[in-house]
Structure 1
């Protein structure tokens, strides 16, 4: 483990020292497709919120575009025992208000980030292994995990560091008004207009390489067509998540450049696994069912194989996604080769429904956001048609992400369409956050929106997370993924590719973790 970390640190140090090209006088204007919902960096663990926060707040450990680890506010880290990690912090770092950054700020952050009031999905999952934080001196921090936690540096790469002197008395509203938005990052906060934009200015005192842009605007443009029109007209310089159907045409447009990479986000369906059944799952006559059919494995298997994943990837996503039965692409650490893409078999699906006691099917509503993931609403509509063909009469209700996530977090959906990225590059991130039994005190199942629970699978997940040896841990993750495939806590659909469009004269590094960052953009050479 120590040798691995030393290798990562050497590589990261080289990357951290790389320059960003010439400094520009004009601003950089970025249009983000997802809705960013708060300036509080710990309010909601969602990619658009991360994209905004990463400009202002640094992390102890950082990630390169390929999701490999590199130094952030910590210059180095190592294990000094099986359960204790030591982090050496970067000297000379100051907050945007000029006060010095110290290890005490990190200790405060890891206490505060666990429990932000009214958060629809917080950061406790990243900190579940942190049992005790010891400030050795202003630039040395030790974290006791109580049991082996080999993924700790990967998980800490998600948690933005805030200051004790500002954050101790600050509420989420104080961040949203800008009062508390004081970070150590490459850009300083200027203004936030909810539902519209964030304005930033370069932090010339940042510890990292001088940034290429003196001002940055992050706009929220959730309509995909409007995003494309804005970059083609020169109204913005960078957009993320362009429509799949526009990519081929954009590749031949001399006004723009496309950057793409294989992604790490799975689009999946979460099934309500509680009794009584959700009000949106009923008998064919609309009356309540005596039991929740979504708890029946045969029903879940029927719903899964009634979905033509290849058709979704080819036609709805126009070959910008890859069908899957899990949540990692082939070749990734802990990808389970034994878990194939579920076959499309509507006839067998009908037979399974009959075996489960639903020969005439039942009715349900499939919920989906309409502005969060590429073609999210269209995917839901296509699945509804497939399910209706096997006798599960499916209506679709789509909502803006800002409304969708709140209702989903309260388990109001019988079935909901969600996406989950695994930028840690291993199976444990989804297993621990999405599949494990919802246990906030342990930081498990924080995003288990269906409230599925399987103690045997929980045991597999926890054992894998605590296994130091990389080879043994991978085998345990694969075994847990095989259990997942047999029990179907969620129904995976496809893994997205990631794409960005930049106007001519600007290039950007395509990131596997989907973050859209001014720090990755530069004047084209």
Structure 2
């Protein structure tokens, strides 16, 4: 990297502690302390105001005690917030995922070129008033591409982006390893961070604990990890999607009942909420709210520890998938708002093809596979995140495995607690959790690299990356990434997804819809997204 001040290397333990790793509710983080001042008793104040001056109050159904570092996090709350606080050179529409110029003045002239040149938006400033410069861009991508620094964003850039150069005070160029048009959509994942703020020693630790200083339409005004984060419109923002709300207060309410109560009735304390339980859809609609969902990549998956016998045997992993009564799960837990996985990708993905191995409910086949593997009297402890809809699905998994003769113990727990155990390399058998790589994008190459690839966090959890099948898979993934012909690339991707399906190391059980509810009498321009969180950059008071 030229003209870059090297970012301090992040120790692997720090990465696993502070980075996000689950699309829907997860991050590999222990509970973090608040970085804002003021008594906790004031945190749920709606902010007052009248008319256009009033505060937008939103409810997010996921934890807010995880990293806010935009290059590290996969926290649903933090990622949604960061889209309002930070900008990439390019950003993407939250629904169509089409890229548009954000901090850059325009899109690259030729997306198939191996050099993309960008000029920064004239007058763009950070929330502390200092100008955005090319040095900030080089600093940000220096963290992404530094071989001695581990970031989640590296998974989405390292294979195709070679270098980012400063060409002037407000101009940069990105040098690609090969033509990669899909990279334009990924630039939103490299939210540009101010070097003068986060380039200081120890400053990135503040980002993990919630500090956010961007150039976007909203600036963060307070952060209380266990209750809420507040924002206000940034008066000097001159970009394409200006703030429509003077102030916003985002509440974190993980438990379903209080979340629904907060948005319900004549005395509702919020105007919008994501992660609406399926059982409450009718109630909220009758109460006059707009309720809409989106089907996408959101899924319940199983993660196996392949270093813990007998889960090193693919037949055992397959057996436990075949045993699950997904039809019952969809009817009872998801109220019909889901589909059994027939590929790693959901059926709406442009690269979707039914996998060569599909885990339909087949207890007889499950028993046969366990017998072939020489396994009997198996006892399984299933650790799981406590996300409400996941908790609703767990009884079906237990009943299915118990019926197979597999004695099953459920251990649901807070997401941060569960993944701290994995961070600490504690032994486990199987994990059930929620994920949605669509938070990062829709292209299959990105989605698959989120969970699979050499050096990938998830592969280390599964203890699988040194397996010969895994190494062959990674080679196939790399060849598909580099393939210039879209049709050939699609087929190559579908073929290696068949390998992922057959081995079932990290693999979805069901894909489900995510539901958002809002007061249409108060808000207009809301679009329900098929991944966690909300985006109100094109919304306004009705």
Q: Tell me, yes or no, if the aligned pair for 2:198 and 2:204 is still in contact at 8 Å.
A: no
Per-residue deviation, 1:126:
2.2
Q: Tell me, yes or no, if the aligned pair for 2:330 and 2:339 is still in contact at 8 Å.
A: yes
2:206 is the alignment partner of 1:174: yes
1:205-216 matches, cutoff 5 A:
205-206=236-237, 207-216=239-248
User: In 2, Cα distance between the equivalents of 1:519 and 1:85?
Assistant: 27
Find the partner of 1:511 among 513, 529, 540: 529
User: In 1, Cα distance between the equivalents of 2:172 and 2:532?
Assistant: 30
User: In 2, Cα distance between the equivalents of 1:271 and 1:83?
Assistant: 39
TM-score (norm 2): 0.82
Q: Tell me, yes or no, if the aligned pair for 2:102 and 2:240 is still in contact at 8 Å.
A: no
Equivalent residue, structure 1, for 2:44: none
Give the direction of change, closer, same or farther, for the CA distance of 1:414–1:174 in structure 2 (3 Å limit).
Answer: same
2:462 is the alignment partner of 1:428: no
2:406 is the alignment partner of 1:376: no
Equivalent residue, structure 2, for 1:25: 53
Say which is worse superposed, 256-265 or 293-302, in terms of deviation: 256-265
Per-residue deviation, 1:339:
4.5
Q: 1:76 aligns to what SS in structure 2?
A: coil
Per-residue deviation, 1:97:
1.6
Equivalent residue, structure 2, for 1:417: 432
Per-residue deviation, 1:168:
0.4
Q: Which runs of 5+ in 2 are unaligned?
A: 1-50
Give the direction of change, closer, same or farther, for the CA distance of 1:202–1:365 in structure 2 (3 Å limit).
Answer: same
User: In 1, Cα distance between the equivalents of 2:148 and 2:379?
Assistant: 36
2:342 is the alignment partner of 1:313: no
Q: Tell me, yes or no, if the aligned pair for 2:292 and 2:517 is still in contact at 8 Å.
A: yes
Q: 1:183 aligns to what SS in structure 2?
A: coil
Q: Tell me, yes or no, if the aligned pair for 1:327 and 1:495 is still in contact at 8 Å.
A: no
Equivalent residue, structure 1, for 2:276: 242
Per-residue deviation, 1:140:
2.8
Q: 2:533 aligns to what SS in structure 1?
A: coil
User: In 1, Cα distance between the equivalents of 2:458 and 2:322?
Assistant: 28
Give the direction of change, closer, same or farther, for the CA distance of 1:69–1:210 in structure 2 (3 Å limit).
Answer: closer
2:518 is the alignment partner of 1:502: yes
Per-residue deviation, 1:455:
1.0
User: In 2, Cα distance between the equivalents of 1:65 and 1:80?
Assistant: 21
User: In 2, Cα distance between the equivalents of 1:404 and 1:366?
Assistant: 11
Per-residue deviation, 1:392:
1.9
Find the partner of 1:68 among 98, 106, 110: 98
Which runs of structure 1 show a deviation greater than 4 angstroms over 4 or more consecutive aligned residues?
78-82, 113-119, 338-341, 444-448
Q: Tell me, yes or no, if the aligned pair for 1:182 and 1:189 is still in contact at 8 Å.
A: yes
Q: Tell me, yes or no, if the aligned pair for 1:433 and 1:447 is still in contact at 8 Å.
A: no
Q: Tell me, yes or no, if the aligned pair for 1:65 and 1:513 is still in contact at 8 Å.
A: no
Give the direction of change, closer, same or farther, for the CA distance of 1:494–1:81 in structure 2 (3 Å limit).
Answer: closer
Per-residue deviation, 1:518:
3.2
User: In 2, Cα distance between the equivalents of 1:134 and 1:84?
Assistant: 10
Equivalent residue, structure 2, for 1:401: 415
User: In 2, Cα distance between the equivalents of 1:199 and 1:328?
Assistant: 35
Equivalent residue, structure 1, for 2:462: 450
User: In 2, Cα distance between the equivalents of 1:489 and 1:138?
Assistant: 47
Equivalent residue, structure 1, for 2:25: none
Give the direction of change, closer, same or farther, for the CA distance of 1:521–1:227 in structure 2 (3 Å limit).
Answer: farther
Equivalent residue, structure 2, for 1:289: none
Find the partner of 2:315 among 283, 291, 298: 298
Q: Tell me, yes or no, if the aligned pair for 1:31 and 1:221 is still in contact at 8 Å.
A: yes
Q: 1:35 aligns to what SS in structure 2?
A: coil
Equivalent residue, structure 1, for 2:367: 350
- Deviation per CA, 1:340-362: give whole Å up to 9, x if none: 7421111221111011011x231
Q: Tell me, yes or no, if the aligned pair for 1:238 and 1:500 is still in contact at 8 Å.
A: yes
Per-residue deviation, 1:48:
1.9
User: In 1, Cα distance between the equivalents of 2:281 and 2:111?
Assistant: 49
User: In 2, Cα distance between the equivalents of 1:30 and 1:378?
Assistant: 24
Equivalent residue, structure 1, for 2:254: 222
Q: 2:100 aligns to what SS in structure 1?
A: strand
- Deviation per CA, 1:61-118: give whole Å up to 9, x if none: 2121322222222221255875433334322211112221122211101223568999
Q: Tell me, yes or no, if the aligned pair for 1:259 and 1:500 is still in contact at 8 Å.
A: yes
Find the partner of 1:146 among 145, 162, 177: 177
Per-residue deviation, 1:458:
0.7
User: In 2, Cα distance between the equivalents of 1:25 and 1:260?
Assistant: 29
- Deviation per CA, 1:443-494: give whole Å up to 9, x if none: x455653132311111111111122222221111111112222222223111
Q: Tell me, yes or no, if the aligned pair for 1:116 and 1:122 is still in contact at 8 Å.
A: no
Equivalent residue, structure 2, for 1:261: 294
Q: Tell me, yes or no, if the aligned pair for 1:65 and 1:510 is still in contact at 8 Å.
A: no
User: In 1, Cα distance between the equivalents of 2:192 and 2:107?
Assistant: 16
Q: Tell me, yes or no, if the aligned pair for 1:31 and 1:220 is still in contact at 8 Å.
A: yes
Q: Tell me, yes or no, if the aligned pair for 2:303 and 2:505 is still in contact at 8 Å.
A: yes
Q: Which runs of 5+ in 1 are unaligned?
A: 1-22, 278-291
Q: Tell me, yes or no, if the aligned pair for 1:150 and 1:465 is still in contact at 8 Å.
A: no
- Deviation per CA, 1:137-185: give whole Å up to 9, x if none: 233322223344443222222222101111101524433677x632101
Find the partner of 1:388 among 398, 402, 418: 402
Give the direction of change, closer, same or farther, for the CA distance of 1:38–1:425 in structure 2 (3 Å limit).
Answer: closer
Equivalent residue, structure 2, for 1:47: 76
Q: Tell me, yes or no, if the aligned pair for 1:268 and 1:417 is still in contact at 8 Å.
A: yes
Q: Tell me, yes or no, if the aligned pair for 2:355 and 2:497 is still in contact at 8 Å.
A: no
- Deviation per CA, 1:194-230: give whole Å up to 9, x if none: 2111111111221234322100111111111111100
Q: CA RMSD in A?
A: 2.6
Q: Tell me, yes or no, if the aligned pair for 1:115 and 1:122 is still in contact at 8 Å.
A: no
Per-residue deviation, 1:400:
1.0
